[in-house]
Structure 1
Amino acid sequence: MDKLKIQVEVAYALPEQQKIIPLAVVEGTTAYEAVQMSGITHFFPQIELDSAKMGIFGKSIPEPKSHALREGDRVEIYRPLKIDPKQARLNRAKKG
């Protein structure tokens, strides 16, 4: 018997470009597996999957390799921060 397929999306964005890839995956597929299956690294080779932070609709996933997806989930791959947000606020406050 075939496993049930669910519809999910994998998303990555740069300031000048974004990509959302729809996928049909078997129930129980993890966020990490969906990202691998999506082939998004062909579009963005700078993504390092093993260290990339991921989330579902803006909510961080601590363990993408074990987080099972649900119907309609959008896995977002986050870019590393250039500067800590607290430090950025301090820098702006010093200027202001």
Structure 2
Amino acid sequence: MINVEVAYALPEEQKIIPVKVELGSTAYDAVIRSRIVEVFPQINPDEDPMGIFGKSIRDPKTEVLKEGARVEIYRPLTIDPKVARANRAAKLKEKQSKADSSSSE
């Protein structure tokens, strides 16, 4: 048996579940064994993308785990990262502009 973790995160909540799996188990096996779907029913282990320590894996059903691996289940993006970055930059620029105009008064 080896020790691994299964992780899932929402903006307001995250869960990391330690799991013991047989040597030779896959990422998919660990997700099923963790029973994380009982905590987050929106997870679909047959379709949701997964990764190990932030690195995406192509096929969770064939990706064999090593001791200490953390399987991460990814949720769909709600906004394109480039758009989110542009929005943050615009807000920061607006905030700085307001601060500059109030300090010059």
The TM-score bracket by the shorter chain reads 0.7 to 0.9
State the Cα RMSD in Å: 1.6
Aligned length: 92
1:39 to 30, 35, 43: 35
Distance (Å, rounded) in 2 between the aligned partners of 1:8 and 1:93 = 38
Tell me the secondary structure at the aligned position of residue 49 of structure 1. Answer: coil
Query: 1:48-84 deviations in whole A, cap 9, x for unaligned?
Result: 1111111111111111110000000000111110122
Question: Residue 86 of structure 1: CA displacement?
Answer: 3.0
User: Higher strand fraction: Structure 1 or Structure 2?
Assistant: 1
The equivalent of 2:56 in structure 1 is: 60
Q: What residue ranges of structure 2 are gaps of 5+ in the alignment?
A: 94-105
Runs of 4+ in 1 over 2 A off after TM superposition: 86-96
* Aligned counterpart, 2:97: none
Aligned-pair identity in percent equals 65
CA distance in 1, matches of 2:88, 2:11: 21
Higher radius of gyration, 1 or 2? 2
Counterpart in 1 of 2:72?
76
The two structures have a TM-score, normalised by structure 1, of 0.85
SS at match of 1:20: strand
More helix by share: 2
Unaligned runs of 5+ in 1: none
